[in-house]
Amino acid sequence: MGKKYRRISQVTSQAIEDTDDYREFYHHPGELPGTINIRTDSVPCTIRLIDYNDGEFIDKNNISLEECEKYLDTHSVSWVDVQGLGSIDTLETLGNIFNLHSLVLEDVVNMSERPKIEEYEEQLVIIARMVVPKDFTCGFYSEQVSFVLSKNYLLTVQEEPEHDCFEPVRSRLERSRGIIRKRGADYLAYALLDAIVDGFFPVLEKYGDRIEELEEEVIANPTRYTLQSIYQIRRELLQLRRAIWPQRNAINSLIRDSSELISAEVQFHFRDCYDHTIQVMDMVETYRELAAGLMDVYMSAVSNKMNEIMKLLTVISAIFIPLTFIAGVYGMNFNTEKSQYNMPELNWYWGYPLCLAVMAAIASALLFIFWRRGWLENHSSIKN
């Protein structure tokens, strides 16, 4: 059975099941707009506040939303990072404090949204997909990250606290490196979104190394495990493509469509972030083509290996055909007393050794002919 969800709406609360491995679910036909779906095994909510300006920096972890509300009306920039979706009360309070539209709260909480940009009166909502590489294995964790950008604050909502690529940005804020503490919340949103896009590169580097290993394996010794690995890589690369493709379009809309919440200078920085998405797309498409080519190479290698086996069996059969003919003729047991033509060799003193010598000579001659023609060479393996 799939994982359980509980649905919170204005009229009913019931459990639904998720049967998809990637924890995606859908709304039932006729469901109320703004309905929120929450997994029952979600991580409890933890809230971290970072408030800063050019001269001051405040970092508070595991605080309440009511305490965060005190910093929202100041002249500094406030970054409220919500990690985990396991508390209904916290999410309801989150919507009230930040004055989130019911549809915005639905998109933020439902972790199966397509990366997109939506603009409201005083808020800009950005839905992005973050990937983090797995340790010691070729694979990645994928989760949705939601941004709610206003004039003086930025709200981010993450599915799980374990998979986070924002630590370099937090370090820059704490150490006041660069210009990030001299800019507004829009520049912080750019820095975090750029960190998400850059997080695709370490994942793709692992896939590049794995594809190179599979190329050598396919040529040297292809097995059923090799085929399974190729299929798995092709599927995971498709998931990466589905994550980065709409994200590229969303960032492009930030550049193309002007918003009062994003300054012209920050829009210029988003161009660099857009270039990174193009690079990620190129790498994903390149690796997908290589994986598809590996499949063709695998089929060719298996076919060549089968041809070599059939060639070896044919050579062995060709050698034993004349030997079998000779053994069959001398196995007919003629009576030499009735006629001198009924195999007189049966009465020769050296008849048996001579027969074996003739067989050995025929086999040696055939092997020599096959060797001269190059039929005994193995073309299925390449030695360094």
Could you give the domains of the chain?
43-184 (3.30.460.20), 306-372 (1.20.58)
pLDDT score for 170: 92
**CA 62, CA 47: separation in Å to the nearest integer?**
5
pLDDT score for 149: 93
Q: State how far Cα 333 lies from the chain centre.
A: 72
Q: State how far Cα 99 lies from the chain centre.
A: 36
Under DSSP, is residue 369 helix (H, G, I), strand (E, B) or coil?
helix
pLDDT score for 203: 92
**CA 65, CA 82: separation in Å to the nearest integer?**
10
Q: What is the pLDDT of residues 58-97, one digit of tens each?
A: 999 888 888 888 888 778 899 999 988 877 778 888 888 8
Q: Report CA-CA distances (Å) from 102 to 105, 162, 191, 294.
A: 5, 27, 27, 48
- The residue with tokens 């594809």 is 211
Q: Which residues of the chain have pLDDT under 70?
A: 1-41, 136, 336, 338, 340, 378-384
Under DSSP, is residue 174 helix (H, G, I), strand (E, B) or coil?
helix
**CA 191, CA 196: separation in Å to the nearest integer?**
9
CA nearest neighbour of 319 among 276, 376, 238: 376
Query: Following DSSP, what letter does each residue of 85-141 receive, concatenated?
Result: ---HHHHHHHHHHTT--HHHHHHHHSTTPPPEEEE-SS-EEEEEEEEEEPSSSS-EE
Contact 53, 181 (CB under 8 A): yes
Under DSSP, is residue 113 helix (H, G, I), strand (E, B) or coil?
coil
pLDDT score for 140: 87
pLDDT score for 36: 66
Contact 62, 191 (CB under 8 A): no
